[in-house]
Structure 1
Amino acid sequence: MATLSRRRLLTATGALGLLAATPAQARDHASRETIKRTVNPAGTTLEVVGVPAGTGFRRLVPGPGWPLVVRPDLVEPRTGRDDRRTALTSFVQLTDMHVIDAQSPARVEYVHPFIGSAHRPQETLGTQGAAALIKRVNATRGPYTGRPFDFVLSTGDNTDNHELVELDWFLTILNGGTITPDTGDPARFEGVQNSRSKLYWNPGDSVADMYKDKGFPQMPELLANAVKPFTSPGLNRPWYSVFGNHDDSVQGTFPSGVPLVDALYTGSFKIEGFSSQSDAAKLAEAMRTSPLRAVELLLSFSGPVRRVTPDARRRPFTPKEYVAAHRDPRNTGPGPAGHGFGPANATGRDLYYTFPIAPGVVGIGMDTTNRAGLADGSLGDGQFKRIERTLEAGSSRYYDTKGDLVRTSAADTLFILFSHHTSTTMDNLLPDPTNLLEPRRDGKALVALLNRFPNVVAWVNGHSHRNAITAHRGATPAQGFWEINTASHIDFPQHARIIELTDNGDGTLSLFTTLIEADSPYEADYGDSSPAGLASLYRQISLNDLHRDPGLMGAAVDHNTELVLAKPF
């Protein structure tokens, strides 16, 4: 048979025209092919994506959707799988919601020139933005399977500064109800954004601050509108949560339980700046490297202080209280009772749990937060071994640490794991002050453990505020799994992610990962006081944050993907 030239092959398959197309034509072609594979892409970034427009203080406008990217990193996909696939589960990951009490005295906004996340100009509108995201989830299904979501799971940093009032707002956002996102004096705003300090955006007046120097406009009614009561619809599906470092410590960094630091929360003085930039820089560096040194610097500050109205609701909660709030019958909402946390978690020391996702599929909620402080995490040895035992009990075959195959009589179960931290941000091996003698395990150790079990499908996490999907290859194709990391809902692009698991009927599985945006307009008038308008401004202001990192968006291979892997049994 004559050999077919590369050009003749491309001509025969129609690919030559695609190679000659402009990038826009290629994208449009890929989008059309993507839509053919879906059941209903409405409400997802497969259909439309907000894109920046203009100069100065930029606006958002609707742009073309992102097409599907098939990733064969672990195993080659087989043709015809769309006609054979069976939906196993469909769910939504929320992450890094950072529900913020923007007027809290226990915040360190003044280090934002060195740690951008210490202060965000959009943070007063976080509750409205989160409620708009819940509205989007409620109106959407799995775009590739059409399956209603089995559950929603929020992968940590649900609160920003582990305050009781932030936890109450978070639970109300997910369960539904009225929220008044205000603390302190109900008659006046007492945060840094009306301090008239040049260090912050003061939207209500014309003071020449560092944000207005970069084009930020005046929005005279913004702060007054931000603290008005509004109603969250609440999720219409069961939901779960895991614990993040911001749910555990002051600003997600300082260790908890230091009396003088904890007293800042409910006190009457708010630090609005350090006396010198060099002192602020020293504190920022200590926040990254030495929690005890950071506490020392915080308590020895000098600089401008504002008197504020004390509010007992700002008291920091403990891990035990976090669990108790989830288990309180008043917070059951759409269920399940406890949202993953049961009697075994009541002490707050062990926040590990398992839960049924669908027939043959089990979820594992992990606690990767280190109570010693610092942003990054790790696993206690006891939890690490519990994960190992759980996987062994649900596996008919797995590999030991030497790589030898182990067979058991247990029925096979597919596992999806959830945590706050990623494999690359689990390097904080400081001793846990609640269990000083327990060894800590890092992300590499957890990846090695999961690679031993062919029926581990995915590890879903947050913390990085970045869209990133990583293939973790094992010793054999069957031992690979996918790590799915999703951007936060506080920093632009403010995404959540739909994840669908399907059996392709050909010895492979697919994970479809589809990003979604909040259900709010891309643009709103600066004076719009409606919840939808405030949610829109939340997103637009985040786009213009001086510290915005464009890399958080991720690449096409981290957006709307089909992740193929071998079916383990």
Structure 2
Amino acid sequence: MAGIETHIPTNRRRFLLSSGAAVAGASAAWALPSQRSSSAAPSAPPLPRTSPAGPAGRRAAPYGVTTLDTAAHLTGSGSYRRLGSGPGWPLVVRGDLASAGTGRQDRRTALACFVQFTDLHVADVQSPLRTEYLRAGSPGSWRAQEALSVAGAVSLVEQANALRGGPHTGRRPAFVMSTGDNIDNHSMIELEWFLTLMSGGRITPNTGDPAAYEGVQNCGLPLYWHPADGLRDQDKKRGLPSIPGYLDAAIRPVTSPGLRIPWYSTPGNHDDLPGGCLAPQDPELTEYITGARKLFSVPDSDVAAFAKVLDSGDDPKSTVLKEILGRNAARARTVTADERRRMFTPHEYLRAHLNPAFAGAGPVGHGYTDDHLNDDQTYYSFTVADGVLGISIDTTYRSGHYEGSLGTAQLQWLERTLAAHSSRHYDADGRLVRNAGADDAHILVFSHHHSPSMTQRPDAARAEEKRHDGAELIAVLSRFPNVVAWINGHSHVNRITPHAHPTAARSFWEVNTASHVDYPQHARILELVDNHDGTLSLFTTLIESAAPHRTDFDDLSAVGLASLYRELSYNAPGLAAGMSGGVHEMAGRPADRNTELLVHRA
């Protein structure tokens, strides 16, 4: 498999420790005829992005703006870069796993259309358990934009609601799948915000003092951006603006319209674990997160010690952090205690999803049912469309680690589920197995972690069970010819990888999508079609939020904050080092963005 590796700058990697590493991708195939091709072979033109039902020769209304139409681009120069609307990105046809047949546009039939959200990281930025002080060791360890996560996510919901159809099929998206790290700190208030965001309602992104912000952005330490006062902090020195009223606006209520289509939920490490990597339900951390003391800075030696164990992930009981909290108790400042910040158990996570108050457009439970409560099971299958099956798996470590894995019981469940929907597959020894009673669906697998971030590390919460890594999961999925794609997040990078197999029909795609909290703040529309030539095509079109690309610092409305959320993410420390032509490596190469992925039809 041809490929290149994406390298996140060192200070960004500290920032993304609990989100995993970048992933190797594969080479592109062809671009649109109107673009310079990355291969000598020509591609057939895509389906017109008009209504299939429209009269011949008459262009119907557009289906909604995507990055095929326009994308945020950097403008001007200087230490703080502004954003504006720029040209869209081309469709890249990838024939890594199956050849692109001519005339397929005239034959193809739409099978499914849906939207993927991932890594929203809806955050209570005033939580005492947050570790912003790691920024003293690496500037990228804290997000200047994170206080606006709710406004930014509401704007993404608005964009999903504005999509009237997929750009290549015209089919209206049937649902949204959120592939984990829906929240940031594993707290009940964040979970309520996420569920309200997706299902509709009023969110007040503030905890502690109901009338004031009590986080790092007005603490007087130049380590953090102070947008609303005159402190000459390290971020203003590198160009971030002064915005009077910013913190008051950031904690104002925001109303989400809720998704107008059903949505499903897959857990990520930040959903299951405080900080995405700390020990859940630890008595000391449980008390601290709801308490009235918060650390804003610690000695450099403590920053280094904590960063070291985060790098290794070898502190499942969060011993080093608890020692730091104890050693620096006298440094902690008084904040307003808030019981709503409490951590939740897997059972409470499921209960919250099943709460009818958060049903929204459905389904009740968003993939989970009352049966899942019996053993706190957080994986399931569901119908994507007629003849298309979705499988959502839980790749998190419940004992405390940012990496992922699958336990043996879940892996066996996955194999049984795949077999029940496959008329033929191969056993672990490569022997053909036939199942005449199966419905032989096209299968899409969803998870939070991507394959490079899954390990065989034991899970202390389930010590008796062997864990399985990404390579083992790829091997299992490759045994089933009707697996089309594995769709995930975690890396905060757009990357699409072909998993080729000597038996071509057993090959499939891994679609890894960037986050909505960090640059480039993307989600995807995915459209599956049958080309009626022995191949399927999976179209992957990136979308941004509905907020304007251009930011007005005087506009502190919810829309204005969502625009600012995007622009601040483009100005994260060290991000400019990876820029090329106004696009950063975290956005992926053209072959990782808007694509047509061909695969043999089982």
Cα contact 2:96–2:498 (8 A) shared by 1: yes
Are 1:423 and 2:445 an aligned pair? no
Distance of aligned partners of 1:407 and 1:456 in 2 relative to their CA distance in 1, 3 Å threshold: same
Q: How does 1:332-343 map to 2 (within 5 A)?
A: 332-343=359-370
1:31 and 1:66 in contact (8 A); partners too? no
Q: Which moved more, 1:506-515 or 1:527-536?
A: 527-536
2:587 corresponding residue in structure 1: 553
Matches within 5 A, 1:176-191: 176-191=200-215
Partners of 2:169 and 2:66 in 1: CA distance:
14
Q: Which residue of 1 aligns with 2:132?
A: 109
Return the alpha-carbon distance in structure 2 between the equivalents of residues 519 and 202 of structure 1: 27
In 1, distance between residues paired with 2:375 and 2:223? 38
* Cα distance between partner residues in 1 of 2:549 and 2:375: 40
Residue identity opposite 2:450 in structure 1:
T
Alpha-carbon deviations, 1:365-418, whole Å to 9, x = none? Answer: 100001121211100110000000111111111111111211111231111010
Partner Cα separation in structure 1 for residue 139 and residue 395 of structure 2:
23
Counterpart of 1:478, as a letter, is: A
Structure 2 counterpart of 1:210, which letter? Q
SS at 2:511's partner residue? strand
Alignment of 1:16-165 (within 5 A): 36=48, 40=62, 42-54=64-76, 55-114=78-137, 118-140=141-163, 141-165=165-189
CA contact (8 A) 1:151 1:238 kept: yes
Structure 2 CA distance for partners of 1:113 and 1:465, relative to 1, 3 Å: farther
Shift of 1:35: 7.4
Equivalent AA in structure 2 for residue 442 of structure 1: D
Residues 1:35 and 1:391: Cα distance change in structure 2 (over 3 Å): closer
Counterpart CA distance in 2 for 1:173 and 1:288 is 32
- Aligned amino acid, residue 572 of structure 2: D
AA in 1 matched with 2:72: G
Contact 1:37 1:82 in 2 (8 A): no
SS in 2 for 1:376: strand
CA distance in 2, matches of 1:489, 1:538: 10
SS across alignment from 1:251: helix
SS of aligned partner of 1:211: helix
- Paired residue for 2:300? 277
Q: Which residue of 2 aligns with 1:4?
A: none
Cα 1:428–1:187 change in 2 (3 A) is: farther
Supply the distance in 1 between the matched residues of 2:84 and 2:385 (Cα, whole angstroms).
Answer: 38
Whether the aligned pair in 2 keeps the contact of 1:95 and 1:154 (CA below 8 Å) is: yes
1:201 aligns with 2:244: no
Quick check: 1:452–1:474 contact (8 Å CA) kept in 2? no
Distance 1:245 1:510 in 2: 31
Q: In 1, distance between residues paired with 2:264 and 2:450?
A: 18
CA contact (8 A) 2:514 2:587 kept: yes
Task: Provide the TM-score with structure 1 as the length reference.
Answer: 0.92
Distance in 2, Cα, partners of 1:158 & 1:22: 36
Deviations 1:511-557 (A, max 9, x none): 00000000011123213121111100111111111153632111000
CA shift, 1:219, in A, is 0.9
Q: Distance in 2 between matches of 1:215 and 1:191?
A: 21
Once the 2 structures are TM-superposed, how far is the Cα of residue 288 of structure 1 from its aligned partner? 2.7
Please tell me whether the aligned partners of residues 49 and 170 of structure 2 are also in contact (alpha carbons under 8 angstroms): no
- Give the partner amino acid of 2:343: P
**Residue type of the alignment partner of 1:103:** Q
Q: Give the conservation status (yes or no) of the 8 Å contact 1:287–1:294.
A: no
Shift of 1:261: 1.0
The partner residue of 1:212 within 231, 236, 248 is 236
* Cα deviation digits, residues 406-465 of structure 1 (max 9, x gap): 1111231111010000011001522241x2201111111000000000000111000001
- Post-superposition CA distance 1:149-182 (Å, at most 9, x none): 1110000000100111111111111111111111
Return the alpha-carbon distance in structure 1 between the equivalents of residues 46 and 137 of structure 2.
Answer: 42
Shift of 1:115: 6.1
1:113-167: per-residue Cα shift (whole Å, max 9, x none)? 5566642000111101000001111111211001011110000000100111111
AA in 2 matched with 1:554: G
CA–CA separation in structure 2 for the residues paired with 1:249 and 1:147: 37
Deviations 1:314-353 (A, max 9, x none): 1111111111000011111100010001123215632110
Partners of 1:525 and 1:359 in 2: CA distance: 45
Whether contact under 8 Å (1:323, 1:348) holds in the other structure is: no
Q: Distance in 1 between the 2:357 and 2:304 partners?
A: 43
Q: Which residue of 2 aligns with 1:565?
A: 599
The reply on whether 1:482 has 2:509 as its aligned counterpart is: yes
Which deviates more, 497-506 or 548-557? 548-557
Displacement of 1:210: 1.4
Cα distance in structure 2, aligned partners of 1:348 and 1:133: 33
Aligned: 1:352 with 2:375: no
* CA distance 1:252–1:347, change in 2 (3 Å): farther
Q: Does 1:492 align with 2:519?
A: yes
SS of equivalent residue, structure 2 residue 148 = helix
SS at match of 2:275: coil
Matched, 1:287 2:310: yes
CA contact (8 A) 2:182 2:194 kept: yes
Q: 1:489 to 1:300 in 2, by over 3 A?
A: same
> Is the 1:31–1:68 contact (alpha carbons within 8 Å) kept by the matching residues of 2?
no
Which of 534, 556, 560 lines up with 1:529 in the alignment?
A: 556
TM superposition shift of 1:32: 12
Whole-angstrom distance in 1 between the partners of 2:244 and 2:456: 43
Report the equivalent of 1:404.
431
SS at match of 2:365: helix
- C-alpha distance 62-296 of structure 1, shift in aligned 2 (>3 A): same
Q: Which residue of 2 aligns with 1:10?
A: none
Q: State the aligned residue count.
A: 545
By how many angstroms is 1:567 displaced? Answer: 0.5
Structure 1 114/425 Cα, relative in aligned 2: closer, same or farther at 3 Å?
farther
Partner Cα separation in structure 2 for residue 218 and residue 403 of structure 1: 63
One-letter amino acid matched to 1:480? S
Query: 2:260 aligned with 1:232, yes or no?
Result: no
SS at match of 2:231: coil
- Structure 2 Cα separation of the partners of residues 260 and 374 of structure 1: 18
Structure 2 unaligned regions, length at least 5: 1-31, 52-61, 579-583
Paired with 1:526 and 1:295, the residues of 2 have a C-alpha distance of: 37
Q: Deviations over 1:474-493 (max 9, x none)?
A: 23110001100100000010
Paired with 2:452 and 2:485, the residues of 1 have a C-alpha distance of: 16
**One-letter identity of the residue aligned with 2:360:** G
Within 1, Cα distance between the matches of 2:538 and 2:445? 14
1:12 maps to none
How far did residue 187 of structure 1 move? 1.9
Which deviates more from structure 2 when the two are superposed, residues 546-555 or residues 151-160? 546-555
2:81 maps to amino acid: R
Does the CA contact (< 8 Å) of 2:85 and 2:550 recur in 1? no
Q: Deviations over 1:500-519 (max 9, x none)?
A: 00000111000000000000
Select 2:325's aligned residue among 282, 299, 305. Answer: 299
Distance across 2 between alignment mates of 1:407 and 1:294: 53
Q: Tell me, what secondary structure is at the counterpart of 2:542?
A: strand
- The amino acid across from 2:452 in the alignment is T
Counterparts of 1:535 and 1:133 in 2: how far apart (Å)? 9
Aligned with 1:52: secondary structure? Answer: strand
Q: Which shifted more, 291-300 or 67-76?
A: 291-300
| 1:258 matched residue in structure 2 | 282
Distance 1:167 1:262 in 2: 16
